[in-house]
Structure 1
Amino acid sequence: MTVIADYAQLYETQIRPRRGGLKRLAVLAVWAGLFLIRPRLALAIWRERA
């Protein structure tokens, strides 16, 4: 029996597990900046996103 390891998946799930949290934080920071500049647009985007 041969075992093939998916190194990309292993790297993403076990070696770099915190990358998704950084993306969420960056998205929230951009959205907060937009909210300060154009609140109506930011709220419209937030409503459509959900």
Structure 2
Amino acid sequence: MTIACDYAAVFELDVRPRRNALRRAAALAVWTGLFLVRPKLALAIWREARGA
């Protein structure tokens, strides 16, 4: 008898939220650093990313 499991249900759902949080934290850290060094450029990038 074999037991089959859905890979996404077992592994992906547990791992991805933490990875997404780490990526967001890293992106925020980079953006904050850029804002401290070149605030006008950081704000321009922020506006363009938001589509404003």
Tell me which residue corresponds to 2:40: 40
> Within 5 Å, which residues of 2 pair with 1:15-34?
16=15, 17-34=17-34
Specify which structure has the higher proportion of helix. 2
Aligned CA RMSD, in angstroms, stands at 1.7
> TM-score scaled by structure 2?
0.72
C-alpha displacement of 1:4: 6.9
Which sections of structure 1, spanning at least 5 residues, go unmatched? none
* Alpha-carbon displacement from aligned partner over 1:7-30 (angstroms, at most 9, x marks no partner): 2x332212x131101100000000
Q: State how many pairs are aligned.
A: 45
Identity score, percent: 58
Which sections of structure 2, spanning at least 5 residues, go unmatched? none
> TM-score scaled by structure 1?
0.75
Deviant stretches of 4+, over 3 Å:
none
